[in-house]
Chains A and B, each alone.
Chain A
């Protein structure tokens, strides 16, 4: 089983719909992240959370919200999806005690907004 699991893996929706992408991890890491990847571009940080009570905006948080339900779960919501939110979304975790730049990524959730 994957250490970082994202659901759904693929989703097609319509403009204006509410969408939730879920992430769960078995690594026991306190830090979790949501990134967005567009074709031909690098990953951009949407939100990050250092523990259950600590949630912070990343560089492209507009139009998104998150919820950290437990140490192992971090969900990303699009309250009213729009076409330019069509992208590949990645959840990631990290362990600050390692003091490296390593993030552990899920397999991604591909979202298409029509």
Chain B
């Protein structure tokens, strides 16, 4: 089947810097793209999503960019904080309900 993948398995950034986590997708029929954050020992938490007919959406300190031409999704975190250290998953929604998750990127924020 079609898959969602991540360019880098780990990312280390300094506190206060901006972080960019990338994701490639291949299912052109997906209608939503979503980012989740998973802290150690917890379930994934929704961060932000973007509809397939949009190219940018902003939240609190986060921005998601969608480039349908190259099937690329990114999550930008501004002024990264220690509490942002976690594994980040991108996911695409297809068939109106099912999510296809990527393998995850581990973000480590150093002082």
Contact = CB atoms under 8 A, between A and B. Distances in A.
Given A101-B34, A101-B93, A102-B34, A42 B101 contact: yes
Interface residues of A, number: 25
A4 B4 CA distance: 26
Interface of B is mostly: strand
Contacts of B43: 4, 90, 92, 105-108
A90 B44 contact: yes
Nearest to A50: B97
Interface in B70-91: 89, 91
A22 B43 CA distance: 15
Contacts, number: 61
Interface residues of B, number: 25
A113 interface: no
B98 interface: yes
B20 interface: no
B33 interface: yes
A101 B32 CA distance: 6
Contact of A42 (B1, B32, B89, B98): B89
B97 A31 contact: yes
B53 to A, nearest CB: 13
Given A31-B97, A90-B44, A108-B42, A41 B103 contact: yes
A101 B101 contact: no
A31 to B, nearest CB: 7
A28 interface: no
B102 A42 contact: yes
Contacts of B99: 43, 45, 101, 103
Interface string A86-111: 00001010101000111111111000
Interface of A: 4, 31, 40-45, 48, 50, 58-59, 90, 92, 94, 96, 100-108
Given A42-B89, A101-B49, 10 more contacts: A40-B104, A42-B4, A42-B100, A100-B49, A101-B33, A101-B91, A101-B93, A102-B34, A103-B99, A105-B45
